[in-house]
Chains A and B, each alone.
Chain A
């Protein structure tokens, strides 16, 4: 069974750093791209970027380039999303999602990680 299991909810202060994770199982993690998607409170879905764990090839949405870093450790089948300096506007639910084999559709999703940034 394909599963993406994300790390737990986080409460941080502005200016702090954070790294959240997404662990894949039930499939060959290195062969499928993993995307990160933001959902701000009460709002829609925003694609942040995508990584190919096999070689760490990464693409970012221009809206998020320079704001976050996407990485992966294929040895433990885990993808990451990190911030070096959080802002209150980073408060959101973050989902990881697996891209289907050859197209930019997403067939399996993590359960989401809620990040709250507040002083």
Chain B
């Protein structure tokens, strides 16, 4: 199985801050990576797919980059509605696997 490791596990930030979350795959996955946002009590929401493609309807302050084993999700100017937990997911091979999550909290 491909292991996905996210860091940090949590981050405290203020509205307007730039936030960067990293995700590392245990083996190369090209750009077969997605990022999801999950708010408490809600289903995950697809933000980024294929490492850097913005899902329809997602604000442009979200961006993704990387290929191979190292990936980043960047929120350029944090908004109040962005406080949530973020997960990466590899789509390279079965079984599909998710990172452990990064909780973005209010500072």
Contacts and interface: CB of A to CB of B under 8 A. Distances in A.
A46 interface: yes
Interface in B36-64: 36, 38, 43-46, 49-50, 55
Given A95-B44, A109-B44, A109-B45, A103 B95 contact: no
Given A44-B100, A103-B50, A105-B89, A62 B45 contact: no
A97 B91 CA distance: 14
Nearest to B94: A59
A95 B95 contact: no
B96 interface: yes
Contacts of A112: 43
Contacts of B43: 95, 97, 109-112
B95 A104 contact: no
Interface of B is mostly: loop
Contacts of B36: 45, 106
Given A95-B44, A109-B43, A44 B32 contact: no
Task: Give the size range of A's interface with the partner.
Answer: 20 to 34
B99 A104 contact: no
A100 B32 CA distance: 13
A62 B95 contact: yes
A64 to B, nearest CB: 9
